[in-house]
Amino acid sequence: MNEKYIKAKEFGFKNLEPYSKAVDIEGRFPIEGYKSMQNEGYFSLLVPKEYGGQGENLLAHAEICLGLSESCPSAALAYMMHNTATRAMALYGQEDIKKEILKKVVAKEVTLGLAYSERGTGAHFYIPDATSKDDGDHVILNGVKSMVTGAGFVDYFLTLVKAEEDDSLHVYAVPTNIDGVDFEEGVWDGVGLRGNESKPMIMKNARVSKDLELKNIGDEDKEIFLIGLASVSAGLAQRAADEVAAYVQKREYTHAKNLADIESVQVNLGSMYAKAFSARETILAAARLADLSPLGAFPELFSARIVSTEAALDNAVDGMRAFGGKGYVRHDLVMERIMRDSFAGQIMAPGTDVLKIWLGRMLVGLNYIDIFK
Ligand SMILES: Cc1cc2nc3c(=O)[nH]c(=O)nc-3n(C[C@H](O)[C@H](O)[C@H](O)COP(=O)(O)OP(=O)(O)OC[C@H]3O[C@@H](n4cnc5c(N)ncnc54)[C@H](O)[C@@H]3O)c2cc1C
């Protein structure tokens, strides 16, 4: 029962947790945890079996992201980005290049990420200002992607651009080691999820082979992305409840009983646990449904991201209250990191405002994406 979730949680507490405090304080990529996930084989989860991968489904992705998020949400976020890009490559990549890249993923030689967001279009990350220009069997890419998780550590970023010739949209797997691709240093100092190294990616006349274009892109990779984002929040909600449960038992007064004996504290904790549990189970249910009915579970996937984001935010507020003054000492107890990470999780697009609009529009039979055009 949810075996992969339990295993990923144990793996995370053993391999990611020891670094998560330093990652947060230093605002650096969780490279130790990222490498240990790669060594464990987690990065080949969604690579099809024909390329040597595990060929796993959405439920497996959900369980693992949930488990990893409880110890190091920054590492889990980078992992879910890789899984999303891997799924997109497997579905829409051109055969030769797909084979080459996915086999390298399985051989633990490369990882993937996403470079979609831009300053100009913000939350509407599917409308790029970055451009491509035809150059025979190559394209020339120009533009800046604003917050790219794993900048400097990921080998290929799936990058959305607009063709100069006809404004059509294209996604290329851009290698990060080519001329014309750079990451802006010294600008990332996030409040939460500080381990993401979400730096701007600058493309200045970057020449990329047309073989690296993903073709006939559909929505299957979006299922993976929504589950991953939701899981990071649900993991944070669970960790907050667990931390409060442990802390209130230790907080003893000289004049009276400890915090855990106070009824309103118990009520608060019960509420936190219930929210974390319902967030996790909503994600697992949505993933199961999406496995059974590909592209048929977007209302449930949107709901899962909404419910889990709100659970993380609620538990961040309730958790900080339970920790009292001690919780406000910076970098001392983990609750304040959970609070900051929960607030960062909510602004990652598509956020809850956008998702509620999309969900409402879907429920009344309107095209949800039209609202932005
Ligand atoms: C830790 C972290 C990691 C990230 N990693 C990546 C990554 O790897 N790759 C990547 O491409 N991007 C990444 N991002 C970028 C992230 O997705 C952007 O923050 C996002 O696109 C929001 O852009 P913005 O801040 O300009 O929001 P804005 O567009 O300025 O929007 C601000 C707020 O306005 C509201 N809003 C905006 N538009 C609408 C609308 N149409 N309807 C209703 N409400 C709306 C929302 O509440 C939104 O939160 C990351 C961000 C963070 C914080």
CA 367 to chain centre: 25
For the chain, which residues make up each domain, given as ranges? 3-111, 113-214, 219-364
- Looking at the domain 219-364, which fold is it? Butyryl-CoA Dehydrogenase, subunit A; domain 3 (1.20.140)
Asked if the domains at 113-214 and 219-364 fall in one CATH topology, the answer is no
Per-run averaged pLDDT (10 residues), the chain, 373 residues: 93 98 95 98 98 98 98 97 98 96 98 96 91 98 96 97 97 98 91 92 98 93 95 98 97 89 96 98 98 94 98 98 93 94 92 92 79 47
From the CB of 313, is ligand 1 less than 6 Å away? no
Instruction: Please tell me the distance from the alpha carbon of residue 218 to that of residue 222, in angstroms, as a whole number.
Output: 9
344 lines ligand 1 (CB under 6 A): yes
Q: Does the beta carbon of 157 lie inside 6 Å of ligand 1?
A: no
DSSP 244: H
- Measuring from atom 37 of ligand 1, which residue has the nearest CA? 123
Q: What predicted TM-score, i.e. pTM, was given to this entire model?
A: 0.96
Burial pattern 312-332, b for ≥16 Cβ within 10 A else e, equals: bbbbbebbbebbeeebeeeee
Domain covering 113-214, topology: Butyryl-CoA Dehydrogenase, subunit A; domain 2 (2.40.110)
Instruction: Compute how many other C-beta atoms are within 10 angstroms of the C-beta atom of residue 107.
Output: 10
| pLDDT for residue 369 | 62
Identify the residue whose C-alpha is closest to ligand 1 atom 30.
122
3-111 has which CATH code?
1.10.540.10
Tokens of residue 313, six digits: 């935010």
DSSP 116: -
**For the chain, first and last CA: distance in Å?**
44
CA of 348 relative to ligand 1 center, distance in Å: 5
Indicate the top mutation candidate among 198, 199, 203 to test ligand 1's pocket, ranked by most ligand atoms within 8 A of CB. 198
Does residue 193 have its Cβ closer than 6 Å to ligand 1?
yes
Considering only the C-alpha atoms of the chain, give the largest distance between any 2 of them, rounded to a whole number of Å: 79
Q: What is the pLDDT of residue 372?
A: 47
- Pocket of ligand 1, candidates 23, 112, 117, 341: which has the most ligand atoms within 8 Å of its Cβ, to mutate? 117
pLDDT at 373: 44
Residue 370 is predicted with a pLDDT of: 54
Tokens representing 84 are 């999303």
Task: Show Cβ contacts of residue 352 under 8 Å, excluding neighbours closer than 6 positions.
Answer: 305, 306, 309, 310, 346
Residues 86, 105 contacting (CB under 8 angstroms): yes
